[in-house]
């Protein structure tokens, strides 16, 4: 598969830190790259320098405050996330790294030696924000009318369901796609649920991210082409695009990854339907706006297996916005 390279406006910076489980993640809050004697440093002081990056993407974190808890001496990181700070070796023993919206990093157990230059790399975690699993909807079709039990177990907590979820939905399904809930005898075009989760991340393969970086001017064409490949019909595609199109177009560029079928089951929500469907397609979109100031990333385009509708067919789609970068000015 051809590897695509995307370059936005600015410097080319995108070196990911990958965990063993294939989730983008730092190994520690910070790493000491080097600690060397530097006779150019004034006696009674030491220099701490390095860079601060975002845990999820390894993008540089600009305007991050780095300072000493023992004094008022501090500095801010530049656009490349770099900083350099001269401190008092007799009094300054605890270093903090902080920006609003990010968890504070403190270095408390390191021996800062007089006239030494210490270089570190720090990885900032965003404060925990539950991601909303937005508008997952379940369509049901059957060539012959049947009664079905539908149960969903999200990785997180329900925030809303429609119709009301009472330990499951009991519905009557027909070939037109109309869903009649037995409890109320009302018809619905789909079953709707939302939930909150704090464990949504982009999946990685080796040192690559399967997905797409798009110019949002092409959002509609991109979604039409991709959803067609995924096997959504005209109604499902229209519902998807009219909901996610405006969200994706927040910024000029966006990172997109689709979580499909088995990955949806293990990462988003478990689905239990009786009788067992003959065909199931589950599509979940993860997306992040990318501001013009953030530059480049390498992505490998995702490919998808064919989907054939037959007999009792189930289609589900949903998605989440993920804060890939700090968008505050």
Would you write out the chain's pLDDT as a tens digit for each of its 329 residues? 333 333 322 222 233 333 333 333 334 689 999 999 999 999 999 999 999 998 755 778 889 999 998 988 999 999 999 999 999 999 999 999 998 767 889 998 899 999 999 999 999 876 655 566 788 999 999 999 999 999 999 988 888 999 999 889 999 998 888 999 999 999 999 999 998 876 678 887 766 788 999 999 999 999 999 999 999 999 999 999 999 999 998 888 899 999 999 999 988 999 999 999 999 999 999 998 876 544 445 788 999 999 999 999 999 999 998 876 433 22
Cβ proximity of 115 and 90 under 8 Å:
no
- The C-alpha angle with vertex 249 and arms to 154 and 7, in degrees rounded to 5, equals 105
Contacts of 274 (CB under 8 A, 6+ apart): 148, 149
Task: Measure the CA–CA gap between 240 and 285, rounded to whole angstroms.
Answer: 10
Domains of the chain: which residue ranges? 27-124, 131-321
Cβ proximity of 297 and 14 under 8 Å:
yes
Tell me, what's the pLDDT at 205?
Answer: 74
The burial of 195, by beta-carbon neighbours within 10 Å (0-12 exposed, 13-18 middle, 19 or more buried), is given as: buried
Burial code of 2-24, b = ≥16 C-beta within 10 A, e = fewer?
A: eeeebebeeeebbebbbeeeeeb
Task: Measure the CA–CA gap between 263 and 30, rounded to whole angstroms.
Answer: 31
Tell me, what's the pLDDT at 102?
Answer: 78
Number of CB atoms found within 10 A of residue 280's CB: 17
Q: Which CATH number fits domain 27-124: 2.60.40.420, 2.60.40.1120, 3.40.1530.20, 3.20.20.120?
A: 2.60.40.1120
Q: Is 310 helix (H, G, I), strand (E, B) or coil?
A: coil
Tell me, what's the pLDDT at 209?
Answer: 82
Looking at residue 18, the DSSP 8-state letter turns out to be B
Looking at residue 277, the DSSP 8-state letter turns out to be P
Look at the block and give the residue holding tokens 């992040």.
288
């Amino acid at each position: 598969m051809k590897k695509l390279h995307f370059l936005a406006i600015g410097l080319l910076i995108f070196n990911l830190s990958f965990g063993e489980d294939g989730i983008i993640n730092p190994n520690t809050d910070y790493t000491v790259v080097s600690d060397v004697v530097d006779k150019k440093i004034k006696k009674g002081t030491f220099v701490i320098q390095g860079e601060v990056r975002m845990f999820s993407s390894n993008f540089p974190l600009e305007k991050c405050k780095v300072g000493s808890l023992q004094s008022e001496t501090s500095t801010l990181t530049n656009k490349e996330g770099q900083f350099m700070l001269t401190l008092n070796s007799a009094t300054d023993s605890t270093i903090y790294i902080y920006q609003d919206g990010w968890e504070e990093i403190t270095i408390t157990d390191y021996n800062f030696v007089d006239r030494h230059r210490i270089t570190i790399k720090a990885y900032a975690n965003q404060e925990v924000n539950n991601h909303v699993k937005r508008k997952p909807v379940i369509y049901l079709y059957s060539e012959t009318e049947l009664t079905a039990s539908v149960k969903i177990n999200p990785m997180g907590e329900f925030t809303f369901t429609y119709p009301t979820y009472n330990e499951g939905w009991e519905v009557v399904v027909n070939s037109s796609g109309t869903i009649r809930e037995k409890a109320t005898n009302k018809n619905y075009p789909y079953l709707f649920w939302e939930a909150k989760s704090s464990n949504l991340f982009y999946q990685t393969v080796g040192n690559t991210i399967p997905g797409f970086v798009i110019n949002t001017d092409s959002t509609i064409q991109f979604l039409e082409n991709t959803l067609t490949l995924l096997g959504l019909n005209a109604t499902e595609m229209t519902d998807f695009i009219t909901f996610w199109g405006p969200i994706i177009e927040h910024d000029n560029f966006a990172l997109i990854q689709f979580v499909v079928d088995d990955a949806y089951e293990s990462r988003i929500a478990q689905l239990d339907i009786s009788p067992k469907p003959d065909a199931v397609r589950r599509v979940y979109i993860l997306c992040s706006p990318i501001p013009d100031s953030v530059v480049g990333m390498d992505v490998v385009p995702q490919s998808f297996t064919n989907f054939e509708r037959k007999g009792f067919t189930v289609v589900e789609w949903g998605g989440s916005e993920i804060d890939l970068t700090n968008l505050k000015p």
